[in-house]
Structure 1
Amino acid sequence: MKINKKLQSAALIPAALILFLILVSSAASADTDQGVSSAGIYAYITNEFSSTVSVIDTATNTVTATVPAGYEPAGVAVNPSGTKVYVANFYGEDYENTLSLSVDAKSKSSKITTEQVETDGGTVSVIDTATNTLIATVPVGSYPIGVAVNPEETKVYVANRGSSTVSVIDTATNTVTATIPVENANGIAVTPDGKKVYVTGLNTNTVSVIDAATNTVTATVHVEYTPFGIAVAPDGTKAYVTNAGYTVSVIDTATNTVTATVPVGEWPLGVAVSPDGKKVYVANEESNIISVIDTATNTVIATVEVGDHPFGVSVTPDGTKIYAANYYSNTISVIDAATNTVTATVPVGNGPVAFGQFIGPISLAPFTNFSAAPTEGKAPLTVAFTDKSIRSPTKWKWDFGDGTTSTKQNPTHKYSKVGSYTVKLTATNAKGSNTATKTDYIKVVTKPVASFSATPTSGKAPLAVKFTDKSTGIPTKWKWSFGDGTISREQNPEHEYLQEGKYKVTLTVSNVAGSSTVTKTNYITVTTNTRPGIYAENK
């Protein structure tokens, strides 16, 4: 299957490629390595043309096992604990039997004698990672491609592009318990709390939002041309959608609206978010690059050249390495997240796709977050802290930055002294712990006293002057008057004087405790560039 088959499900497979697929698939089944997985971190790579899954030990970047899957495996998802891998096979189990091949030995050519190759539905392969063996095959809709597991590991969601449905699989019985209509369903992701499922509609330019409790579509988000892959941030606040029209849409999951559109490379397909939520990695299939997006600014901060036609991309649980599946190179590129450079290339099977969350296990420790109100005020300041961590923490440890702590989930704390305080929260559950730190988060203030300096204070026009706030008392607002009719509200502005004269500068600073003003008369002196005339020189 050529790569555009993944983009347009109506395309047919060249006959020679079909013959190759069957031979390679049979050989792979006979030679499978049934090595036992250790407790490490593994990448599971779906090889479309080999109909196999390559298992990579991310500690050594070596293939430790090759597991047979269904026909043309594409989507893949590791459950959070790393015990099971779910593989979406683009065609059903009866696919091989529908083919009627004829081979001309003299010309070494082959052809499909049927007019069209179809199947009633695709399948999902269930792999046990302890033994790297196929333990179940679940029939789903036609042309399944995207697959995702909920945090509780009780449900698997499968996006069936051909039948325009999402299949919901019960992991205890490996049976489909619900089918949800979603037109051209393609990429799929579950929120960290397991309450919502986001599905891209390939030819609809929309993303459907499914309520996991009722298995109904509750919202539709309009994005850009040909939405393909999707990933949700670890804190659940954002969803990132790759649009084949060279962009990534950023969806606010609270409002289900697009808040930003980020230009990336050509034909972005796979997408993954770093464990800390600070970066997004995008596989650009036509550009042969991985785009690195800063989530704070929604801008591309780096591009990394990888192999030929990268399709899937995923990040290790510690965020240190990124793995990209190069479809035409039959390799995996390993990227160092700190330097954005390729540090290893791993040969795998034929046509690696690895579309989805293909690295596991995934940390089930809490993703820690918190808020406070108020965050600024006069001493003594009483602050109410609210835990906003996800993944069900059972223990909490707060460090308020003034030498005191608390183990309550939502404590109240009184700050007695003026200053800026850094607050830390460590949340813990049975799977581990995680710490969130907010630097200078709480500001206990007194009425500020305005003060400033400038450099230079004299010179010829145009004169550029840098002003520096030196006020005490932790002001939060500034208002400068430069004496020439202009003002600024920056803390440390730069201003250009264009005309000759002596200028009075005023600074007013304020915070919740009050305000203060300081004025410096004739503080800036500006002269002209005009040279004295002959009369003035001889006078």
Structure 2
Amino acid sequence: MEEITCDKIHREHTLIRVLGITSLTILVLAGVAGSAPFAYVTNLGDYNLRGYYYDTNYNGAIPTPSVAVIDTATNNITAKVPLGDGWPIGVAVNPAGTKVYVASATIDDVCIVYVIDTAANTVNTKVNIRSSYPSGITFNPAGTRVYVTKQRDNTDISVINPATNTLMAPIIVGPSTYDIAFTPDGKKIYAANSRNNTIYVIDATTNKVTANVSVGDSPYEVVVTPDGKKVYVPNYNSSTVSVIDTATDNVTATVPVGDSPHRVAVTSDGNKIYVANNYTVSVIDTATDTVIATVPVGTSSREIVVSPDGSKVYLGNLYNNSVTVINTKTNTVTARVPVGEWPMGIAFTPDGKKVYVANADSDNVSVIDTATNTVTATVNAGIYPTGVVIVPFTDSNMADQSTGAISNTTEDIEVEGINLSSEENAVELNNSNNNSYNNPNNNNSKSNNSSSSNENKPSKNNSTPGFRLLGSLICLYGGWNLRKE
């Protein structure tokens, strides 16, 4: 008979404890892995300040722009992250999903980049880029650099090292460089300059311009195919798309499209390019670089995104207050979804089951069920929400393997030279607190659009209205210039 000793009992007890802890850890991780992603929505402040854009006294409350964090499982706002003076222009998420970067322009013409920790939903760092008008903010595919593009007379692209959140040497380019895109390997950057009608080719290792590619009139956006072989550039005032061969950095085709092309998206297989024009969407076959379909849509399309599985295109129609859905197999419109006023930012959840649409002039976010293409919730996310990105969960291994640059650029609506708008997706768990901003006793929030059982009504305070910041931006309501003419 085996002798049972105290040492043996201790070892078995320890083994049971280890196995128990391991099992508990697996259960906890399994539960976390099943957590829903979070939507981060940039906006200009809280509802108690709504309607005071014309206030000239500049007394009392000063708006605090923020980022609303929406739990996509419940469509409740779980946090609001204040940003400070200014208004958010662009938002980007690092590939690991642990940090959200927001480029904000202040009343003093200074660009501040706020760094949000997605675990705590707090701003842990601010990077001052000094005098500039930001137009967008983007991560490189590896997540090791952050790039801030600028408009008007700024002649550089700011580069931030996210490991230290300090400024690196800027990339010297021409004024009004709006958008950038990376080759999938992260080695080359293509930057669109609307004033010089030029695409700058930048070595991402040295951050030096290696070539200037002449394209059509007023390029605002640029997209690289998934295989990294071609770059497509819509030329706003030329009604064309320039095609650049990345091997030679020469224009190999100029494709006629609809009027005022300004936004562009590529399918995940790289076979089709969708170009948002003023009244149509042009579909370009990347094998032949010819237009194979022209799809009628609403007026002034301001955002275009492709679903994760590549089967659908969702397009925001600024003046029609709707989102057009295009089937990529047939290139026909399958639905027109009514949303709030001035839909701008659009983002898919990673599973493609939901689309979040930031409606600037309705002060809310529409949630679209992609199976039925109906709005299932309307979330009050703050004044003039324009940018939205989705931050889903991923484990550390997945984060290490990530190579996608997650970004949100802003190009559509200029406010005295400042643009407001949005784009794309993201990655990781948000461990925000469970504080809900729903207030069933609050009936004062604006609800121009549809209501829903999931509608959020953020709490308000009784601060005396007065707009030192936005009082000077009367054009926010009525005098916005759409693009460069």
TM-score between the two structures when normalised by the length of structure 2: 0.54
- How much has 1:146 moved relative to structure 2? 2.5
The AA in structure 1 aligned to 2:251 is V
2:257 maps to 1:200: no
The AA in structure 2 aligned to 1:208 is S
2:97 maps to 1:40: yes
2:134 is aligned, of 37, 50, 73, to 73
- How much has 1:160 moved relative to structure 2? 0.7
Q: 1:211 to 1:37 in 2, by over 3 A?
A: closer
The AA in structure 1 aligned to 2:331 is N
2:195 is aligned, of 153, 162, 166, to 162
2:288 maps to 1:255: yes
- How much has 1:166 moved relative to structure 2? 0.8
Greater relative contact order, per chain length (Cα 8 Å cut-off, separation 6+): 2
- How much has 1:224 moved relative to structure 2? 0.8
1:140 is aligned, of 150, 173, 184, to 173
Task: Give the count of matched residue pairs.
Answer: 312
Q: 1:292 to 1:208 in 2, by over 3 A?
A: same
Q: Which residue in the other structure is 1:178 paired with?
A: 211
Q: 1:300 to 1:41 in 2, by over 3 A?
A: farther
Tell whether the 8 Å contact from 1:272 to 1:314 is kept in structure 2 after alignment. Answer: yes
Larger Rg: 1
Cα distance in 2 for partners of 1:131, 1:306 equals: 40
2:319 is aligned, of 286, 294, 315, to 286
Q: 1:55 to 1:320 in 2, by over 3 A?
A: farther
Q: 1:65 to 1:41 in 2, by over 3 A?
A: same
How well do the aligned residues superpose, as a CA RMSD in angstroms?
A: 4.4
The AA in structure 2 aligned to 1:322 is V
**The residue matched to 2:220 in structure 1 has which SS?**
strand
Q: Which residue in the other structure is 2:265 paired with?
A: 231
The AA in structure 1 aligned to 2:97 is G
Q: 1:153 to 1:302 in 2, by over 3 A?
A: same
Unaligned runs of 5+ in 1: 1-15, 92-118, 364-390, 392-539
- How much has 1:136 moved relative to structure 2? 5.3
Cα distance in 2 for partners of 1:333, 1:348 equals: 13
**The residue matched to 1:163 in structure 2 has which SS?**
coil
2:309 maps to 1:276: yes
Q: Which residue in the other structure is 1:87 paired with?
A: 148
More helix as a share of residues: 2
More strand as a share of residues: 1
Tell whether the 8 Å contact from 2:116 to 2:125 is kept in structure 1 after alignment. Answer: no
- How much has 1:281 moved relative to structure 2? 1.3
- For each residue in 1:338-372, what CA deviation from the matched residue of structure 2 results, as whole angstroms up to 9, or x when unmatched? 44436464747877368xxx668999xxxxxxxxx
Tell whether the 8 Å contact from 1:52 to 1:73 is kept in structure 2 after alignment. Answer: no
- For each residue in 1:276-311, what CA deviation from the matched residue of structure 2 results, as whole angstroms up to 9, or x when unmatched? 110111121222222221111212222334443233
Q: 1:275 to 1:362 in 2, by over 3 A?
A: farther
Tell whether the 8 Å contact from 1:325 to 1:352 is kept in structure 2 after alignment. Answer: yes
Q: Which residue in the other structure is 2:399 paired with?
A: none
2:250 is aligned, of 216, 225, 235, to 216
- How much has 1:138 moved relative to structure 2? 2.6
The AA in structure 1 aligned to 2:326 is I
Q: Residues 59-70 of structure 1: matches in 2 within 5 Å?
A: none
Q: 1:37 to 1:243 in 2, by over 3 A?
A: closer
- For each residue in 1:434-485, what CA deviation from the matched residue of structure 2 results, as whole angstroms up to 9, or x when unmatched? xxxxxxxxxxxxxxxxxxxxxxxxxxxxxxxxxxxxxxxxxxxxxxxxxxxx
Q: Which residue in the other structure is 1:149 paired with?
A: 182
1:313 is aligned, of 343, 346, 366, to 346
Tell whether the 8 Å contact from 2:95 to 2:143 is kept in structure 1 after alignment. Answer: no
State percent identity of aligned pairs: 45
TM-score between the two structures when normalised by the length of structure 1: 0.49
